Structure 1
Amino acid sequence: MGVPRKFAAALAGAAVLLPVAGCSSTPPPAAGKIPQSASPTPATPTEKPPGHPFTGMPYSGEADPVLAVKIENTSAGKPQMGLRSADIIYVTQVEGGLTRLIAVYSSKLPKKLGPVRSARITDLHLLAQFGRPAFSYSGVQTKMIPFVRAASLVDVADGVAPSAYFREPGRYAPYNLFATPKKLLAAAPKATKAKDIGFVFSDTPPEGGTPRKTYSVRYPAARFTFGWSENQKRWLVWQDGKRDVAAEGGQQGAPTIVVQYAKTGRSQFHDVNDSYTPLVQTVGKGRAVVLRDGQAFEARWSRKNEKSGTEFTTKEGEPMPFAPGQVWVVLAAPKPIQP
C-alpha cells in the first residue's frame, strides 16, 4: 500500500529533499519499480516520481515488505552474495571485535543471498524501527530465544522456514548457509511494508562538506576504509586492507556511507569463549559522519525510541540529505570496546 511521503520542493535549480522514514564495483542499479503512467497525459517537467523510503530512488508508490538478513562478514564467508541488491546495509560489532552485516531489502531482491549467520541482541533493537520486518538468521544462543520471541519482527530463521535455505556448493559450514529471498518473504506474509525510517534524500549535497578521498572506521579486530570513486560516483569498500569484492563481481560500495557513532557496551550475552556480545545503543542521539559526493559531512543522529526511525541532521539542525541509492550505516563506538 502507499506510504505517506513528505516532499520539500525548492525553486528551479534547488535540491529536492525526499524525507522518508520507516525502521559494489559497478554503480548499484536503480532500486525500486519504475512507475507506470495511469493516463496517457505525460508528466510535466516539474513532477518527480516518489522516492523509495530506504533509497530515495523512483518507485511505484506501492511499498514492498521488508526483509532483513544477518550476513557473515569475515574472510571465511567472503565473497558475500546479494549485498548489492540491498537497500540498506548495517555494520555491527560482534564478539572478538569482529563485525557482521544486516542487509535490508524491499525495493528489489536478489535470487539468493548469504552466508546467513546467527543473530545478536543489537539486531532486535535496531530492526524495531522498520515495524515488523521479516528477519532471516541462522539461530541464536538458547538464553536469547525469549528475546527473539518478544521482538518486533517476523521470524524466518532457518529453523522456522527451512525450505527457504540451502547449502551453497564450494563453501564449508557454517559459511555455506544461503537463502532464497522470495521464499523467505513467502514465509512471512504479515511482514511490515517499507515505510519512513527518517532518511532524507537529495541529488544535491548540502553546503559545509569537507573533500575526502578516504575515510576509515576501526573496530578492535576489523577495519573498514571507504574510498571515493569519481568515475563510479560511489564510495568503494575495503576491509582489512583488501578490496571488498561481491560474489557477483565488482567491488562493494554505495553512494552514501553513514558512520553512526553510538555508545557500545557489553550485553548480558557472550560466546563459548566468554567473549562478551556488544550491545549498541541505537536509541538516543550522537555524532555521525556522512560520506557522499566525495565529501565528509559532520552530522548528528537521533532516535526517540525503538519504534521511531533514526533522523540525521546537519550541524545547523537541518535534515541531512543522503545521495539516492544504497546506504551503508556503519555503527561504530566512539571508542571501540575491547572483546
Structure 2
Amino acid sequence: MLKKWLVTSVAAIMMVTGCSQDKEPVEEQPEKQVDEEIVKDTELSFQYPLSGLKTEEEPGDRAVAVVVNNHPKARPQSGLTQSDIVYEVLAEGNVTRFLAIFESEHPEKIGPVRSARDYFIEIAKGYDSLFIAHGYSPEAKDMLRNGTIDHLNGIQYDGSLFKRVDFRQAPHNSYISYENIEKGAKKSGYLLNKAPEALTFYKEEQLDQITGEETIEASVSYGNSTFDIRYEYDSDAEKYHRFSVGEDTVDLDSGESILLDNVFIVEMDHKVADNQGRKEIDLISGGRGYLLQKGVRTEVEWKNIDGRILPFVNGERVKLVPGKTWINIVPNIGQVTF
C-alpha cells in the first residue's frame, strides 16, 4: 500500500512539474529607453565671455593675446580662425599686425608671432590677458620690463617655447603652441584660470532688432595695397568673409576661412613716434566708427571702457552678435568704403 502511494505521489509531482515547464517563461521587462529624438535640448547654462557662444561648463580660462604677423610672407597664418577677437592695427611702414585674443578656443599652433608695440600691450590689458609676442619696440620693452602685463616673449624663449619653422624665413617663422603657452605661464608663475569680464551680446531672439543700412561689402584701405582688405557678407552663413589682396583669409593648417559675426571699424588719431616710423595711437579719446552685423552697418561712436574699445549709439552700448569679432583701427574713417 505504501509503495502504491509513493508511486502515485511521484507521478503527481512529475505532472505538476511538467505542466509548469510547458508554460511560456515570463519575459523580463526591458529598461525604459529614452527616445533622443523627442527629448528637447536643454538650454546651455553658460556662455563664453568674449564670444558669447553657449557652453555646458562655466568658462574659467584666462584670455591670451598674441601679436600675429601680417606680412605677405607670413600669410596664411595659423590659429586666427580660433580667436574670439582680432584687432588689426598699423605698425611702421603702413604694415598692419594682428592682436589675436583667445579664450573660448586653444589653437594647437599660433603664428607667425611678431614683435610688441605699446598699443598692443594696452589693448591686451583690457582683457587681463597673458601677452605673447616675439620682440618689442623700445617703448614696449620698457612696459614689459616694468611689469605692465604678464607676458612671454620670443626674445627670451626663442627655440624653447617659441619654435622656428623651416618653410618660412625670419622674422616670419616664429610660432608658439598653446601647450607651450601653458608651460611658460607655469614656469613664470602666471595664472591661467580666471576668465575675463564678459562682453555684452544679443540673445538669439534679439537678433532681429539689428537695424541699419544694408552692406554686402566693405573695404578698408591702409595706404598700402598689400594690406588693403575687403569684407564680404555671406547671406547663407550670415557671416563675413575677410579678403586680403583678393584672397579669402584662411587658416594655414586647416584651410578654413575666417568667418566673422561682428566687423568693427574705428577711427583713431595716429602720429609718427620716431625716425623708424613707429606709431603713437590714441586709444583713449573715442571717435567715429562703423559696426557691421548681419549684413547691415550702423554708424557708431567708440569709447574706451576699462581698456576695451566698444561701440555706442546715442550714449548706449551696442551689443555684439555672438561669435567672432574683428576690429580694424584706422587713422581716418574716410579710408573705409561700402
The TM-score bracket by the shorter chain reads: 0.7 to 0.9
Structure 2: gaps spanning 5 or more residues: 1-38
TM-fit CA distance, 1:206: 3.4
Q: State the distance in 2 between where 1:309 and 1:105 align.
A: 15
Change (3 A) 1:75 1:297: same
Tell me, yes or no, if the aligned pair for 1:93 and 1:100 is still in contact at 8 Å: yes
Q: Which runs of 4+ in 1 moved over 6 A?
A: 42-45
Query: 2:85 corresponds to which letter in structure 1?
Result: I
Question: Who is 1:328 aligned against?
Answer: 326
Instruction: Name the CA distance, whole Å, in 2 between partners of 1:261 and 1:206.
Output: 26
Q: 1:335 to 1:108 in 2, by over 3 A?
A: closer
Distance in 2 of aligned mates of 1:208 and 1:231? 18
Superposition RMSD in Å: 2.4
Tell me the amino acid that sits aligned with residue 298 of structure 2: F
Q: Would the aligned equivalents of 2:118 and 2:139 in 1 still touch at CA under 8 Å?
A: no
| 2:298 is the counterpart of 1:301 | no
1:106 matched to 2:111:
no
**Aligned AA (1:174):** P
**Structure of greater relative contact order (alpha carbons < 8 Å, 6+ residues apart):** 1
Partner of 1:200: 201
2:255 corresponds, among 246, 249, 255, to 249
Letter matched to residue 328 of structure 1: W
Identity in percent: 21
Equivalent of 1:184, from 181, 188, 195? 181
Distance in 1 (CA, whole Å) between partners of 2:230 and 2:47 is: 29
Q: Could you say what secondary structure the match of 1:160 adopts?
A: helix
Shift of 1:252: 2.0
SS of residue matched to 1:188: helix
Residue 93 of structure 1: CA displacement?
0.4
Decide whether aligned partners of structure 1 residues 143 and 110 sit closer, same or farther in structure 2, where only a CA change above 3 A counts: closer
- Which residue of structure 1 aligns with residue 126 of structure 2? 129
The answer to whether structure 1 residue 279 and structure 2 residue 284 are counterparts is: no
5+ residue gaps in structure 1? 1-41
Kindly state the Cα deviation for residue 224 of structure 1 after the two structures are TM-superposed: 1.4
Distance in 2, Cα, partners of 1:293 & 1:142:
41
In structure 1, the partner of 2:242 is: 237
Measure how far apart 1:196 and its partner are: 2.1
Q: Write the deviation string for residues 213-244 of structure 1: whole angstroms up to 9, x where unpaired.
A: 10111112121110001122211011133322
Instruction: In structure 2, give the amino acid aligned to 1:319.
Output: R
Residues matched between the structures, number: 286
Residue of structure 1 in register with 2:144 after alignment: 148
Residues 196 and 309 in structure 1, CA contact (< 8 A), matched pair in contact too = no
What is the alpha-carbon distance in structure 1 between the residues aligned to residue 282 and residue 219 of structure 2?
Answer: 21
Offset at 1:157? 0.7
Q: Is the 8 A contact 1:55 1:324 kept in 2?
A: yes
1:1-339 correspondence runs (5 A): 49-59=45-55, 60-131=57-128, 133-142=129-138, 144-150=140-146, 152-162=148-158, 163-189=160-186, 190-191=190-191, 193-196=194-197, 198-203=199-204, 204-221=207-224, 222-247=227-252, 248-267=254-273, 270=274, 274-304=275-305, 307-313=306-312, 315-334=313-332
Contact 1:236 1:254 in 2 (8 A): yes
Asked whether the equivalents of residues 266 and 333 of structure 2 are also in contact (C-alpha less than 8 Å), the reply is no
Is the contact between residue 198 and residue 311 of structure 1 (CA under 8 Å) also seen in structure 2?
no
- Amino acid in the other structure paired with 1:246: D
Letter of the 1:317 partner, please give it.
Answer: G
Q: How far off is 1:48 after superposition?
A: 5.0
Tell me which amino acid in the other structure corresponds to 1:310. I
Secondary structure of 1:220 counterpart: coil
Q: TM-score, normalised by structure 1?
A: 0.77
d(CA) in 1 for partners of 2:280, 2:59: 35
CA contact 1:205–1:292 (8 Å) conserved in 2: no
Q: Secondary structure at the match of 1:124?
A: helix
Does the 8 A contact of 1:129 with 1:197 survive in 2?
no
